Amino acid sequence: MYTNGSKLGSDCSGSGIYINFWNQEIKIQRKIPDTCSVFRSELVVILEGLTSIESLPQLHNIWIFSIHFQWILSHINIAGNEIADSLARRGAGETAPLAASLTYLELFSKYKAKKKVIWRIPPVHP
């Protein structure tokens, strides 16, 4: 399972997941609300990917299933990662984002960024 979150500029966010599971390929691309972090966009498609895997008939024979998360440097020609990156970029270009509520940390990050911009604007004195 390979995932990628992509931010193209300030107003386009997308995520993609590529799964090759028992010789079946699952490819998912989504536009993510621009207020979501790249990390969050990857978590959203991981959930979708796991849901897709659950529907596979072969899964009913598995008793123990382990998942290991590993960060992979991007753009080093790992096929699955390159596919996920391409899906994320295409997802950012879609018109309707997924509905995803913001976490407290995402809201706080947006608040801090807005306050930082306001703080940098010098006051105007008459």
Q: What is the pLDDT of residues 5-47, one digit of tens each?
A: 887 776 668 899 999 877 888 999 988 877 777 788 888 888 8
Give 8's contacts (C-beta < 8 A, 6+ positions apart).
14, 89, 92, 93
Per-residue pLDDT tens digits for 43-101: 888 888 888 887 777 666 666 667 778 888 877 889 999 999 999 989 888 877 666 66
pLDDT of residue 17: 92
Bridge partner residues of 17 (DSSP):
3, 28
Q: pTM of the full predicted structure?
A: 0.69
Q: Which of 79, 89, 82 is nearest to 12 (CA)?
A: 89
C-alpha span between 80 and 89 (Å, rounded): 14
Whether residue 25 contacts residue 80, with contact meaning beta carbons closer than 8 Å, is answered with no
Residue 117 DSSP class: H
- The DSSP H or E segment spanning 6 is strand 2-7
